[in-house]
Copies of this chain bind each other. A is one copy, B any other.
Amino acid sequence: MKRTMVKAKRPTSDALSLQDYFDRYLPSVEAEMQAIVKAVNPLHEDFFGMMRYHLGWADAEFNPCEARSGKRVRPILCLLSCEACGGDWEQALPAGAAIEIMHNFTLVHDDIEDRDETRRGRPTVWTLWGDAHGINVGDAMFALSNLSLLLLVERGVPASIVVAACCLFNITQLALTSGQYLDIGFEGREDVSVEDYLAMIEGKTAALAACSCEMGALIAGASDAQCACLREFGRHLGLTFQMCDDILGIWGDPALTGKPAGADIARRKKSLPILHGLERDEELRALLGREKLLDSDIRRAAELLEQAGSREYAHQLAQEQHSRALAALEDAGLHGPAAQALYELEMMLLNREV
């Protein structure tokens, strides 16, 4: 699906844009999630309240609210992939909800592991209710995500496909923890290489995006070959996303990203440009080794990275992942507006400013 090819398909005025798909899918995804993350026993009301807080539906007193939640990109990927492969997106809703709940479970645990005190502008679960509840709330969300996925059977998806979906889902979760294992190990290490980093984001970022797309294809009853293409599309899309995120973490416009300039330098995050630069520039190594980083240090580090070609390097790698994502989508041989929306999503990622 090359750019020109797609352009040729686009013009009809009733074609849905990516935004149209978001508008169409999101309320159903949200309703599906809300139906599963719900206490059955009144004794557990506050337990589920903590989950609902994390998901942005409740405040810290468990009263309903509309807080900032995630962008829900992963379920959208799943539903679009299902529709693009000729499936019924509504049938895939339990899978979309499962993926988003699983993603959020990993965030609850990551926040404890990284000791992050805020997320999306609010205190994290462990900050409000302690580590013990934080760990346990995450565990419950993992169980709920599996239960959501298993609801596919009630939407008429054949049991053999549900079993395959469940395998994919848990293999993905294992990949996420394997990536997180590597990431935890990076902490305090001086010798993390770009290669180490790439192995880590394969698990921590790419695996779930790959799963989201493959899952949609699987539920649509797509062929093994088509499932594999969508998996690769999702994987490279996830990698594109992460690499661009790493660039924005240093050179993003604070007015657009909402984060301070050079945020990842300040946090000494072992991101792609930083690891590339550290391998090449001694002044940068010395600078980032300092106990306290001043604003002028952060500006200087960004300059050094620029000079070392680290920004350009990260951009090239992102561009390469982008091309591979588009090639995989083309290999899938899909037509129609949902496939077009997948294409648009990938295009949007590469040039995003936020």
Contact = CB atoms under 8 A, between A and B. Distances in A.
Interface in A63-83: none
A306 to B, nearest CB: 31
A112 interface: yes
A287 interface: no
Given A166-B146, A174-B140, A182-B43, A135 B109 contact: yes
A62 interface: no
Given A132-B184, A147-B170, A178 B44 contact: yes
A43 B137 CA distance: 29
Interface residues of A, number: 44
Contact of A139 (B109, B132, B144, B158): B109
B171 A147 contact: yes
Contact of A113 (B113, B132, B174, B181): B132
A126 to B, nearest CB: 10
A143 interface: yes
Contacts of A106: 139
A99 to B, nearest CB: 14
Interface string A120-147: 0000000000011101111110111011
A181 B133 contact: yes
A213 interface: no
Contacts of A137: 177
Interface string A140-167: 1011101100100100001110110011
A136 B142 CA distance: 13
Contact of A135 (B133, B135, B143, B174): B135
A143 B131 CA distance: 21
Given A146-B170, A163-B162, A177-B140, A133 B184 contact: yes
A137 B181 CA distance: 8
A173 B135 contact: no
A159 B163 contact: yes
A177 B138 CA distance: 9
Contacts of A131: 112-113, 131
Nearest to A174: B143
A271 interface: no
Interface in A181-230: 181-182, 184, 187, 199
Contact of A162 (B132, B146, B159): B159
Nearest to A129: B184
Given A135-B109, A180-B136, A184-B133, A174 B147 contact: yes
12 contacts: A106-B139, A109-B135, A112-B131, A112-B132, A142-B142, A142-B173, A147-B171, A153-B163, A158-B159, A159-B160, A163-B163, A163-B166
- The 3 A-B residue pairs with the shortest CB-CB distance in the complex, in nearest-first order: A113-B132, A159-B159, A140-B177
